[in-house]
A and B are shown apart, each in its own frame.
Chain A
């Protein structure tokens, strides 16, 4: 398993252990440049990455970081946010419990693949729990971001089984996003096609919540 090291100063503050950013970026490039059939064909490097459980572990650890974040967010929200309706409190607990199950599943999967799960980072959600409005707005952003993160990373997963696990999780993140949006009286599915984000963009979006 490759060790992680900061490759750009702005990422140094993000303590995400066990993830090789280079391998992730290389695979992004390969996926982006793939003409039909490239991933099954010639390049030795391509095949090595595709076959490497290490690559899938990297992606799962990236997902795990996000799931740790969402779980902690809802754990704290359930305790701190005032002014929620009965339904909204039930929804908060349901989301919290779902995210906690995602954490457990990802940790177990990473271990099954012989990898080391990243440690849970320290989070700081600032004033997000100050009132119902900021809580729901932040929840909306986190869920939408989660969907785009999984959609961006999933095509690079080598194992069909790991892909199935990621798909099972992203489906629920998307459901969460719609449910929070409905509570905010926003369109639950504003686009016909959901976004797929690069790791850089996602980590930049969540960086404010990761305590130094």
Chain B
């Protein structure tokens, strides 16, 4: 790879800054604190319109936090997977090694960013899930890269499935910034494992598995699909 390509491959701190800029400053956190203070008991009817609005805000926040923690689980999984792939020593091609390292580093950035976002919004980030990639790694290089390609397609579908449900526009902007990167990863890995376009064949296979339009997947379906990788 050329020098400039290597430089591109290296960490891109400006994209991290961009991510956090999207989440605004202290405004988001203080608004949430106000909402909490005004909310009181969710079951009682709101005493005032302001309290009702605050209660809605708190509910939206809880919903967004659920989505963010779901995303965090998937990102943990992906980061762990790439770590496992590199550690296994199965990948010999230097081009593929550098891609796996780069993608793994990006997934870790996603983990860090989502964790920080959840905390910023007053939520509790989920713990790192216990993963079980052993059986996949045991199947050898081809199976491992195919699994990676499948998981990235799943990640893209997962984010797309949640986009319409996210209430906070800043959180949405942040999710979209990750969604398109997962799509890049998915396309690249599917090409690298020799799956070609796969257009319209459906499923999780191919650089363009659903043709011209990405297909969303709901939370339940995604979590079921990743279940084999969780210990």
Interface residues, chain A, CB within 8 Å of chain B?
A: 31, 34-42, 94, 97-99, 101-102, 105, 147, 150-151, 154-156, 160-161, 163-165, 167-179, 181-182, 185-196
Q: Which of B66-74, B85-93, B180-188, B222-230 lies at the interface?
A: B180-188
A85→B82 CA distance, assembly (Å)? 31
Given contacts A36-B28, A174-B180, A196-B22, 8 further A-B contacts (CB under 8 A): A35-B31, A94-B199, A98-B211, A171-B160, A174-B187, A178-B188, A187-B99, A193-B109
Instruction: Indicate if the CB atoms of B177 and A101 lie closer than 8 Å.
Output: no
Interface residues, chain B, CB within 8 Å of chain A?
A: 1, 5, 8-9, 12, 14-16, 18-19, 22, 24, 27-32, 35, 53, 56-57, 60-61, 99, 102-103, 105-106, 109-110, 113, 121, 156, 160, 163-165, 167-170, 172-174, 176-181, 183-188, 191-192, 197, 199, 207-208, 211-216
Q: A31-B169, A168-B214 are in contact. Are A187 and B5 (CB under 8 A)?
A: yes
User: Which residues of B sit under 8 angstroms from A155, Cβ to Cβ?
Assistant: 169-170, 172-173, 176
Shortest CB distance A68–B (Å): 15
B4's nearest neighbour on chain A, judged by CB, is: A186
Q: A40-B56, A167-B214, A190-B9 are in contact. Are A151 and B28 (CB under 8 A)?
A: no
A188→B199 CA distance, assembly (Å)? 19
User: Which residues of B sit under 8 angstroms from A170, Cβ to Cβ?
Assistant: 176, 179-180, 183
B14's nearest neighbour on chain A, judged by CB, is: A191
A188→B102 CA distance, assembly (Å)? 10
Instruction: Indicate if the CB atoms of A151 and B176 lie closer than 8 Å.
Output: yes
A195→B102 CA distance, assembly (Å)? 18
